[in-house]
Structure 1
Amino acid sequence: MHLRIALLAAARSSSLLDVRFEDDRPLDAAGRWEAVRAVPVYAHLADAELRYCSPTLRCRETAEILGLRPIAQPALRECDMGRWRGRTLGEVAAYEPQAVDVWLTDPQAAPHGGESLLSFVLRVGSWLDTRPGVDSLIAAVVEPTVLRAATVYALKAPPHTYWRVDVRPLSSVTLTGRAGDWTLSMDH
């Protein structure tokens, strides 16, 4: 049985320069407006048999605006960034430049004391591979980092490819297939 899983990146909650690790802020005014404008594009996701979201506030708010009424999934949380949680990359790089270099170059490293990139990608992949076999669409509103990890996993790409995947707010992909055998379709 082939599954169809539509993954949609949440609307934004801050400017790009203020993006923080494991940020749980609500949608900002621009993000809320963008989500409302996206309703006609993503209205079909409300018909998905199963609807999920990352547990962050902005994912829940994006899903609610789209009419999804999702179930929050802990497996779809962002990468555990340990002591870097709540800080920007610039802030961390100013105090721990070598640790940032290690984190960006070694997918098995977790210099922040949290989860390695490889562990994160495998966690998200495990969630994909364990979805119930339904004949209709599964939808999930996720953090951009989760969508990146799912893309790397689905394509069986090396973990460092994660840094080359750009996911913008309210962009989406659909994965079709079954455990360990996914095809990726770019939606919007």
Structure 2
Amino acid sequence: MLVTLIAAARSSSLDDARFGDNRPLDAAGWASVERAVPALAPLAAAELRYCSPTTGSRQTGDVLGLAPLAQPALRDCDMGRWQGLTLREATAREPAAVEFWFGDPRSAPHGGETLIAFVGRVGGWLDTRPAGPHGRVVAVTEPSVIRAAMLYALKAPPFAYWRTEVHPLSVVSLSGGGGRWNLRLG
């Protein structure tokens, strides 16, 4: 099976990125996804097309012609009381808690989901994808979900999550299934 993940177009500047952001695409996001249509539209041939429940992911998928089905398992990490805050705001309010969160992937000082649980949830979604006749799946989701999927596929240590960057409209493909995934680049 081949699962292709597309990072949603941007809904805000990087400095204004918020935990659990559900804002619609901004003008730059709309323009970038429209420019990406020629390169990404062929992905609409996948038998199964999904998106995270966020507005920006849905809009990105719709512009690409995917008509994606929202999947709750593809939602961003539950950030508890930090939901809606920027990292800068969370750090200003709870500097020790943010430092602890970065240092321990089993911690959830925000009262939400741990990094370990988040990666496991995304991995569980990957492992339960039904294979279509050609085994092709495409999903538009937040960069954080793609980072979690890559960690799961590579069985990388949790701290690698903080060393992985996924930009808007980046495309990552994973081949395999059932807990045995390979990262496909290019």
Q: Does TM-score exceed 0.5, indicating one fold?
A: yes
Offset, 1:178:
1.2
> Paired residue for 1:11, among 5, 9, 12?
9
Q: Which residue of 1 aligns with 2:21?
A: 23
Summarize the alignment of residues 32-47 of structure 1 with structure 2, pairs less than 5 Å apart: 32-47=30-45
What do the CA deviations read for 1:20-63 (whole angstroms, capped 9, x no partner)?
00000000000000000000110111111000001000000000
Offset, 1:81:
0.2
Q: Which residue of 2 aligns with 1:142?
A: 141
> Paired residue for 1:105, among 103, 106, 111?
103
> Paired residue for 2:119, among 118, 121, 135?
121
Q: Which amino acid aligns with 1:123?
A: R
Q: Which residue of 1 aligns with 2:86?
A: 88
TM-score, with length taken from structure 1 = 0.97
Offset, 1:133:
2.1
Root-mean-square deviation (CA, aligned residues, Å) is: 0.7
Offset, 1:137:
1.3
Partners of 1:87 and 1:6 in 2: CA distance: 29
What do the CA deviations read for 1:127-167 (whole angstroms, capped 9, x no partner)?
00000022231000010000000000000001111001100
Q: Which amino acid aligns with 1:92?
A: A
Structure 1 regions of 5+ residues with no counterpart?
none
Structure 2 regions of 5+ residues with no counterpart?
none
> What is the aligned-residue identity percentage?
61
Q: Which amino acid aligns with 1:37?
A: R
Partners of 1:122 and 1:162 in 2: CA distance: 13
Q: Which moved more, 1:126-135 or 1:77-86?
A: 126-135
Offset, 1:95:
1.1
